[in-house]
Structure 1
């Protein structure tokens, strides 16, 4: 795990220390977004979905509702990830500034995938460039024509451009510290770039090999690092698969025998065992960064951690 320790240490050294000034109260949805906000603000942001909380089923505690009602700024992915939060923001923080990161014009949005079996040339279609990524939205399946995969934070390019938007929003609320916010955003972007370069180097040996996932939450990471995901047990909304899908997945995994299966905390081990031979290595990954220290270094640490876990799994 030396790679992970080095990447995390580099990120920590590049990020700003927590300052003494008081900035506007910022509330966020998930830890990776809170990490980005903390990079820019220099202090801890309120997180409504702490580690271990499901984005699909969470409800606010009284203390969280109070924080939301006091927020000057709410930064979240958007209703595609946490539908209930949209209503709560409008009810409890109607006067707060809001940034729905997934809906920023420059954000990469990839189509919501269905069916669990990915074509072999999936990444050849997406490519590795951000400039033309918005065209991918036009390729959604008919019954998800307007939907996109909500796990946007797993592409480091998205995270980097979001730092600029967060810095601008904080500067608008607190103009006296605008220069500090912009400088912190640049430092955070450099930390993300370092983690991204090291992760890409770690994942290079997987070129040409396939991996599978228990939940189709890794599409943005897959896209950013040129990985080849061949199958997913459940779609991006984490709905339980039907019998026909389970049978098709069993055939695909037996045929291709991927280098690794990525699981998440709470994955149904019995269901996974029913479709995947025990000889395929597993790696458990928390895309929310729940296994990592919370704070500004969480985001670059998450990119490094995911890369390390995938590489170690594929090396087995």
Structure 2
């Protein structure tokens, strides 16, 4: 009940502001983590509305009437993009009307990593360089990598195929926070309008193959919020969009975004230290949602039980995941709060691996500005709890 009331209050926040913030624009945000960043940027001015109830899957969702009304009345819609919420694309066009849009998946300076397919992920080659070919600004490439500090933003492109520029302070921030994405090609695809939810199939093996193909068509992994440096880039882009919609409060938005960046840099440094004792231990995740977290903190997963939370893995995929557990010596296989743990139990049966829980979207967290750092800290704590048990 308390969580429902909190969510309702957040939804109405941008529509029923106090007298002191009456001039704030009406803002609608798609998912909890992005909403948390927006709330941080709007602090002291107004409150953004949240279009999805906490804990719901972003890949497939039916808006409630109150959420549709919030979208319809919004002056600014902030969403990751159709790569994450394909159902929202038409709704933004039909209900959003003349509202300004900020697609977070297109924000320059934010890392975009390629989609991975198959139950087993490519081996993480420690110390392997990113493919930086064609980049105009990579001052950090000359830095020492003894501390494994890497910028997860290598290979960024905007949706028109141009390389996204990286500011010098972005490189400095990334070098403060430890590990990021060695061995991954961070080049983004130029197409983001693919179908994200795979179609059902009767043959389990065919289902798995189809799911892999559908995700590969997206070109890039949309779970971008799990890298705190992406959240920092988002905060700055939100401040720009809000300042354009509300020039009177532009200084407040930019100051809040600068504060958010400092907070997220410190958060990344803290989490890197938290994870240090278990770095290098093998694990599997329930579905491939954690690549940005893995890349930022040098915590590569060996594989995933399911391609997407939108589809259940077939028998072939489960068998493949069991083999990955065996061959990788996985210490832990992580489930997610909204899914029954029985599937993970099947995957680890007969092995020494333990079952753990990770929550990539903040399903059990209260909405608001504090939700984002709480989400990242919880992921780190969940990993340490499960991966340290066998040490």
Q: TM-score w.r.t. structure 2 length?
A: 0.71
- CA contact under 8 A between 2:189 and 2:220: conserved in structure 1? no
Q: Secondary structure at the match of 1:137?
A: coil
The secondary structure found in structure 2 opposite 1:233 is strand
Greater shift after overlay, 194-203 or 258-267? 258-267
Matching of residue 274 in structure 1 with residue 346 in structure 2? yes
Are 1:117 and 1:249, in contact at CA under 8 Å, matched by a contact in 2?
A: yes
Counterpart in the other structure of 1:5: none
Contact 1:126–1:133 (8 Å) recurs in 2: no
Q: Output the CA distance in 2 between the equivalents of 1:130 and 1:255.
A: 28
Flag the 1:145–1:84 CA change in 2: closer, same or farther, 3 A. closer
Q: 2:375 aligns with which of 261, 277, 302?
A: 302
Q: Which has the larger radius of gyration?
A: 2
- Distance apart, 1:266 and its partner CA: 2.8
Q: Higher relative CO (CA 8 A, sep ≥ 6), structure 1 or 2?
A: 1
> Matched residue of 2:187: which SS?
helix
Q: How many residues align?
A: 299
The answer for the alignment partner of 2:288 in structure 1 is 216
Q: 1:93 to 1:198 in 2, by over 3 A?
A: same
For the residue of structure 2 that corresponds to 1:147, the secondary structure is coil
1:72 corresponding residue in structure 2: 75
**CA deviation after TM superposition for structure 1 residue 61, in Å:** 1.0
In structure 2, C-alpha distance between the alignment counterparts of 1:200 and 1:142, rounded to whole Å: 33
Question: Equivalents in 1 of 2:346, 2:110: separation in Å?
Answer: 37
Gaps of 5+ in 1: 1-17
Of Structure 1 and Structure 2, which has the larger fraction of its residues in helix?
1
How many Å apart are 1:292 and its aligned residue? Answer: 2.1
Partner of 1:61: 64
Q: Which deviates more, 135-144 or 263-272?
A: 135-144
Contact 1:37–1:45 (CA<8 Å) still a contact in 2? yes
1:112 Cα deviation from its structure 2 partner: 1.2
Output aligned runs, 1:1-316, within 5 Å: 20-22=20-22, 23-42=24-43, 43-121=46-124, 128-134=150-156, 136-137=186-187, 144-236=216-308, 238-277=310-349, 279-316=352-389
CA–CA separation in structure 1 for the residues paired with 2:310 and 2:115: 12
Alpha-carbon distance, 1:245 to partner: 2.3
2: CA distance between counterparts of 1:180 and 1:59?
A: 34
Q: Using the alignment, how far apart are the partners of 1:124 and 1:138 within structure 2?
A: 21
- The corresponding residue for 2:133 is none
How far the C-alpha of 1:282 sits from its partner, in A, is 2.4
1:196, 1:304 within 8 Å by CA — same for their partners in 2? no
Deviation at 1:122, TM superposition (A): 5.8
- CA contact 1:126–1:223 (8 Å) conserved in 2: no
C-alpha distance in 1 between matches for 2:283 and 2:269: 21
CA displacement, residues 116-155 of structure 1 (integer Å, 9 cap, x when unaligned): 1012226655763234243533799887255211101101
SS where residue 75 of structure 1 aligns? strand
TM-score by length of 1: 0.87
CA displacement at 1:251 relative to structure 2: 1.7
Relative to structure 1, is the Cα distance of residues 224 and 238 closer, same or farther in structure 2, using a 3 angstrom cutoff? farther
Q: Deviations over 1:86-123 (max 9, x none)?
A: 10000011200111100223221111111110122266
Deviation at 1:177, TM superposition (A): 0.9
